[in-house]
Structure 1
Amino acid sequence: MDIVYRINESCRADEAADVFRASGIRRPVGDLERIQRMLDHADEIVTARDGEKLIGLLRAITDYSYCCYISDIAVHRSYQGQGIGKALIHKLIHKLGNEEIKYTLTSAPGAVGFYEKFGFERSDKAFEIKRIKN
């Protein structure tokens, strides 16, 4: 297995939806137009491919100077536990740097340990307005 990582490689909505579905992450996988908008309007996308197959995806929104919100990190279930998620994050941090930029994300309950091991700290100061349409 030779995993290839790329930054801002074009990614189709159907293959992103497949990775979301296969990773267990909850995203609107039945609405490919919405998935495409999510991809089109991300500032940074980091992909992981095994050959031509998309197996990992990181999507982020950033101002490139102060903050970066990592909105998705998804790795196909059959590839989890191999360091792909960590590599996706490392690729993003390598590109943007970590001296001036603060990285933020929200975690699914089952992924909290992964992020803590990576070095993310829990925050009790986050707020959200829930979306009407999931």
Structure 2
Amino acid sequence: MSITYHENDTITPEELAEIFLQSGIKRPTHDLERLGRMLAQADELLTARADGKLVGVLRAITDYAYCCYISDLAVDRDYHGQRIGESLMKKLQEKLGNEEVQYILISAPTAVGFYERIGMERLDKAFVIRRQR
């Protein structure tokens, strides 16, 4: 089985909900309308597929000049250990570059080690106003 990668792939809210569920990432999987808005408003959407099945997704918001916020990086648990998440990150960096653009994300506690392994620097100065739902 080979993994294929796609830029700005068309995926449905149902597919996004399923990859979120299969990866364990906490997102509003029950709210397909909201997931549809999340897809529509992303500046970058990269996917990984195994024989057509969505097994990884990276969704990002960027100005293409200064910063890129990676809002979702999810890989189906059955496909962990195959460097899919790392490959999605590298493909995003190849597209946007590293010269001017800084990549930012908020990690789930269980994924901190992954991000450190792929070369991301841990920061201690971040702030948030939490959503109400």
Aligned-pair identity in percent equals: 59
TM-score (normalised: structure 1): 0.98
Q: CA deviation at 1:97?
A: 0.4
Structure 2 Cα separation of the partners of residues 55 and 16 of structure 1 = 10
Instruction: Using the TM superposition, give the Cα deviation of residue 9 of structure 1 relative to its aligned residue in structure 2, in angstroms.
Output: 1.1
Residue 65 (structure 1) aligns with: 65
**What is the TM-score of this pair, normalised by structure 2?**
0.98
TM-align CA RMSD: 0.6
* 1:38 and 2:38 matched: yes
Residue 124 of structure 1 deviates from its aligned partner by: 1.2
Structure 1 residues not aligned, in runs of 5+: none
- Residue 110 (structure 1) aligns with: 110
Q: What is the aligned residue count?
A: 133
Find the counterpart in structure 1 of residue 126 from structure 2: 126
Q: Secondary structure at the match of 1:58?
A: strand
1:59 is paired with a residue of what secondary structure?
strand
Deviations 1:8-35 (A, max 9, x none): 1111110111000000000000001101
Alpha-carbon distance in structure 2 between the residues aligned to 1:109 and 1:40: 27
Matches within 5 A, 1:72-91: 72-91=72-91
SS in structure 2 opposite 1:49? strand
Deviations 1:26-65 (A, max 9, x none): 0000001101110100000000001211010000000000
Moved over 2 A (4+): none
3-state SS of the aligned residue for 2:88? helix
**Partner amino acid for 2:90?**
H
For 1:55 and 1:117, the matched residues in 2 are separated by 21
Residue equivalent to 1:50: 50
Give the AA of the match of 2:61. Answer: I
**Matched position secondary structure for 1:45:** strand
